Amino acid sequence: MSNRTTVTEFLLLGFSEVREQQILHFVVFLVFYLATLMGNLLIVMAVALDRHLHTPMYFFLMNLSILDLGSISVTLPKSMVNSLMNTRLISYPGCVTQVFLFVLFTSTDFALLTVMAYDRYVAICQPLHYEKVMNRTACIQMAAGAWITGIVYSALHTGNTFRLPFCQSNVINQFFCEIPQLLKLTCSDMYLSEVGFIAFGAFIGVNCFIFIIVSYVQIFKTVLRMPSEQGRHKAFSTCLPHLTVVSLLVFTGCFENLNPPSTSASNPDLLMGVLYAVVPPVMNPIIYSIRNREIKAALKKLIVWRIFTKN
């Protein structure tokens, strides 16, 4: 007990100690961040301004873009500032806030993707009941349920983590605060409760993933039975982007969480963190824009309208 000290700040893992490489890291992350902001903001604006996109699928897509904006804004700006200022510090309250918001956005993201899978299932497998099942009230309730689930889950996770005493060290072997790395710094057996909570969360996540897979098995069965080739193409064009986004989130999450945290700073830990925290928000708007004709048409109209109003 006498060796325990109160932690007031943490040290994040830097990408390099060489000043030129720190500047390079800042520039690369800035490009990723601006691309993500532009892509997701364009989707939000397109869905909000185009009346043809005021449907359940695009309502959920707009929520997904907002989550991606929040997720990447939690991690990248702090890392960029640290590289630019040649520091590794993050305050204790800053770390708490980062953990809470990152878990909130990522868990809500997965809950929303599960809802979107159900939306596609009803639209393709039960088209006659779609308007009744996926009405405006139901969509708002589903989206609100995903957000509330994420808030509660994140609050429990964050509170359970930061009630633990930190006495091993204050060095986090990642470029942002994350729970697995924080648990390595605790000096109490109470961290096992948080491990159990993570396992329970993983169990819920696996069940959601199974629900998504079962939904898409039924969707593909229905699509393959469609007599019209145009109908099959339209159905696939709305489903494949969502399935790609789900796969990207699941695989990057598995790589990050199944990879055992190393006891010392390492480049693989940093690469896993980038793969998990940066790649999905960057890729999601690209995936939806490339595969979805309605999104591409709405974006073209939005860009043309902006150019016309400026002129």
pLDDT in tens, 271-290: 777 888 888 888 888 887 76
Amino acid identity, position 146: A
- Does residue 289 fall inside a structural domain? yes
- Does residue 42 fall inside a structural domain? yes
- Does residue 11 fall inside a structural domain? no
The CATH number assigned to the domain holding 29 equals 1.20.1070.10
pLDDT of residue 2: 40
Domain of 236? 17-305
pLDDT of residue 141: 95
Strands 89-91 and 9-12, bridge-based pairing: antiparallel
- Does residue 262 fall inside a structural domain? yes
Indicate the pTM of the whole model: 0.85
- Does residue 250 fall inside a structural domain? yes
Whether the per-residue pLDDT at 57 is higher than 70: the answer is yes
Whether the per-residue pLDDT at 260 is higher than 60: the answer is no
- Does residue 1 fall inside a structural domain? no
- Per the structure, the count of domains in the chain is 1
- Does residue 2 fall inside a structural domain? no
The string of pLDDT tens digits covering residues 78-127 is 999 998 888 889 999 999 999 999 999 999 998 999 999 999 899 888 88
Whether the per-residue pLDDT at 307 is higher than 70: the answer is no
pLDDT of residue 309: 60
